[in-house]
Amino acid sequence: MYLRTTKRKNKDGSVVEYFQLAHNERHPVTRKPVAKIIHNFGRTDQLDRDQLVRLCRSIARVCDLTVVDLHSGDQDSKKIDGYLAEGLKIDRTVELGLVLAIEALWDKIGLRKTLCDIAMVNKLPQCYERALLAMTANRLCTPDSKLGVWDRWLDTVYLPTCKELQLRHMYEAMDMLHAHCTEVEETVFFHVANLFNLEVDLIFYDTTTASFTTDYEDDADDPDVSLRQFGHSKEGTWSTQVVVALAVTREGIPVRSWVLPGNTTDVNTIEQVRSDLRGWSLGRAMFVADSGMNSQDNRTELSRACGKYMLACRMANVAEIKLDVLSKRGRYTVFKDNLQAKEVIVGDGVRRKRYILCFNPKEAERQRKHRGEVVTLLEQELESHPNGDASAQWAIELLASRRYKRYLRVTKAGLIRIDRGAVRQAAKYDGKWVIETNDDTISLEDAAMGYKSLMVIERCFRSLKRTQIKMTPMYHWLSRRIESHVKICVLALMIERLAERSCGQPWSKIRRSLKKLQVTKFFDLNHRVCLRNEIPADTRKILKKLSINPPKQLVSLEKTT
């Protein structure tokens, strides 16, 4: 069955066309196919085309067919409505949702304009901006090398503006980013701060390390190859690495990043970070770090280089915290997110120290239950070994366990027993943590939220290094390429955090919903057609929260002849 056009010539020489629905039957005698008219639609110049379109769509819906309009005429000026195309063949299906959202946020935060302006001023190709978009989007989709982005990944997503990119454009774009990274970071951050009304009165920063699989460090005197140096990584290993410093807002939005030689200590990064942020009018920049950074020497260096700091404390290892801070009487001030805090001042004059004692009742209850379960397991284990010989293999394993050993003791008779004193002592720390700061102007709430903000930085580093963006492994060895690679990863982190902030969901859920939106490519001898699938409800909600208009069902239509 098919739709055919017949012509009739009038006496005045004019030609009239008719639409007819027909199908072929074989003549019983000649056995040749003969067209049998099923229905006459009428003259083409008098026919309502919209009625035919609705009929085609109804037939397609009932028969579960794909509808595409390949109506003859000027395809560039006519709206594509619908036509049942039987000759189309499926090429492949590619992802649309993720790259659509990433590109929309890329434009929204001003990266396209900033990078295009830099390319124009420096008379560089505009495609460098597209190359940086492709490399950044790849970090949030399926992280791959620069060669992998160009050679493999771009064929799996719908990014038509990047299809003409060459491999050299990737590396040349990285060089452009390295030369203008300060301008890009400052312009984009303040554009984001104004657009999303970010609070920038308090900036938190911390450091991490990125290791390389090489046995040799770089020449420290060579400016082109000097970053990879031996040092102690944050994972506790000794390796060739670089140090990555990251400044974020209290919401985890990246402000700026630094890439430093791998043998740079934490306190040696502070002076450069402080100097670079001084001209940004960010209010006050405060160094926030975990308890591993808290020592007298480090506090002295931080006071000299940075001015203000806020450090977590090891509660069980500092005598004045156990005696003066934890035992301080007084009510807690209750803040949001089940957080309570109170201020404790220890000492006078130059020996004066300001501590913030924080308490989370829910966390305290969780720790209490966990400790009760551990003690119950220990009691059962000891009951199953009545002799309690501490030299037995089972006892040695318990004493070596990080989970159990803190609640065990060995008597003078060589017997293993539960240390009830240690159990009671551990209960004093349930749900509590202590912060030390030398800033008397910071409010109790800001200080109490400081440790939570530190955890936001740790989450950013986890996303950068392990869970999503995967900054490592790095295959670059030139210092400028290493730095550009880190900057690209931080740009990806910014887009991730802004998407999470807008949607109120973690990136893993946003990514899972957006991956459902795909494009299927069809083709015939004359056309290339791209159709999206039906948008699921959760994907549509994500697009709405990101203020992205859903793409039309017919994404693109190209004539090949």
SS3 207: strand
Residues contacting 24, CB < 8 A, separation 6+: 33, 34, 35, 36
The DSSP symbol for 266 reads H
Alpha-carbon distance of 275 to 182, in angstroms, equals 13
Characterize 356-369 residue by residue with b for buried, 16 or more Cβ atoms within 10 angstroms of its Cβ, and e for exposed: bbbbbeebeeebee
pLDDT at 282: 64
pLDDT over 90 percentage in the chain: 36
pLDDT of the residue at 77: 31
Helix (H) or strand (E) holding 473: none
Task: Count, in order, helices (H) and strands (E) of the chain.
Answer: 17, 19
Q: C-alpha 185: how far from its chain's center? A: 17
**Residue 173 pLDDT grade (very low, low, confident, very high; cuts 50, 70, 90):** very high
Mean pLDDT, to the nearest integer, of 413-435?
90
Classify residue 299 by burial, with Cβ atoms within 10 Å: 0-12, 13-18, 19+: middle
Residues contacting 278, CB < 8 A, separation 6+:
none
- CA–CA dist 113, 493 (Å, integer): 19
In whole angstroms, give the CA distance from residue 353 to residue 440.
10
Q: What is the pLDDT of residues 127-150, one digit of tens each?
A: 999 999 999 999 999 999 999 999
Residue 468 has pLDDT above 80, yes or no: yes
- pLDDT computed for residue 538 by the predictor: 94
67-76, 80-89, 270-279, 506-515: the lowest-pLDDT one:
67-76
**Distance between CA atoms of residues 173 and 192, nearest Å:** 23
Q: Can you tell me whether residue 142 is helix, strand or coil?
A: coil
Radius of gyration of the chain, Cα coordinates, nearest whole angstrom: 33
Average pLDDT, stretch 197-222? 81
In terms of Cα–Cα distance, which of 114, 120, 107, 115 is closest to 131? 115
- What is the pLDDT of the chain when averaged over all its residues? 84
The pLDDT assigned to 72 comes to 39
8-state DSSP, 292: G
* Helical packing angle, 507-514 and 97-108, nearest 10°: 120
CA distance 117 to 336: 43
Q: How confident is the model at residue 195 (pLDDT cuts 50, 70, 90)?
A: confident
CB atoms within 10 A of CB 174: 25
Q: Of the ranges 22-26, 74-78, 138-142, 230-234, which one carries the lowest mean pLDDT score?
A: 74-78
SS3 376: helix
- Residue 162 to residue 393: CA distance in whole angstroms: 63
Question: Strand, helix or coil at 168?
Answer: helix
Token pair of 25 as six digits: 């039957």
Closest Cα to residue 95, out of 521, 503, 466? 521
- In the prediction, which pLDDT does 549 show? 92
For CA atoms 497, 503, 506, 508, the dihedral sign is negative
Which residue in the block uniquely carries the two structure tokens 């919401």? 251
d(CA 206, CA 301) in angstroms, rounded, equals 15
pLDDT of 361 higher than 70: yes
Sign of the four-CA dihedral 127, 131, 132, 134? positive
Q: Give how far the C-alpha of residue 398 lies from the chain's centroid of Cα atoms, to the nearest Å.
A: 40
Partner residues linked to 40 by β-bridges: 20
Which stretch, 218-227, 316-325, 416-425, has highest mean pLDDT?
416-425
Joined tokens for residue 116: 């295009």
| 375, pLDDT greater than 90 | yes
**Residues 6 or more apart from 444 whose CB is under 8 A from it?**
333, 341, 342, 343, 356
- CA 140, 144, 148, 150 dihedral sign is positive
Cα 31 from Cα 33, distance rounded (Å) = 7
pLDDT tens for 103-130 read 999 999 999 999 999 999 999 999 999 9
Tell me: pLDDT of 76 over 60. no
Which structure tokens are listed for 445? 């709430």
Per the omega criterion (within 30 degrees of 0), is the bond before 550 cis?
no
Cα–Cα distance, 346 to 353 (Å, whole number) = 5
pLDDT band at 84 (very low <50, low <70, confident <90, very high): very low
Alpha-carbon distance of 485 to 170, in angstroms, equals 11
Q: What is the pLDDT of residue 283?
A: 56
Q: Which of 56, 46, 42, 45 is nearest to 1 (CA)?
A: 56
Output the pLDDT for position 78: 38
Lowest mean pLDDT among 3-7, 315-319, 545-549: 3-7
Secondary structure class of 535 (helix, strand, coil): coil
Cβ-in-10-Å burial (0-12, 13-18, 19+) of 540 comes to middle
Reply yes or no on whether the pLDDT at 62 is more than 90: no
- DSSP SS3 for 24: strand
Determine the pLDDT at residue 71. Answer: 44
Rounded Cα gap, residues 346 and 534, in angstroms: 64
pLDDT at residue 150 in the model: 93
Q: Tell whether the model's pLDDT for residue 64 goes beyond 60.
A: no
Give CA–CA dist 553/225, Å, rounded: 50
**Nearest Cα to Cα of residue 481 among 173, 275, 192:** 173
For residue 321, pLDDT over 80 is answered with: yes
pTM score over 0.85: no
Name the one residue in this structure whose structure tokens are 């140096």.
Answer: 229
pLDDT at 82 over 50: no
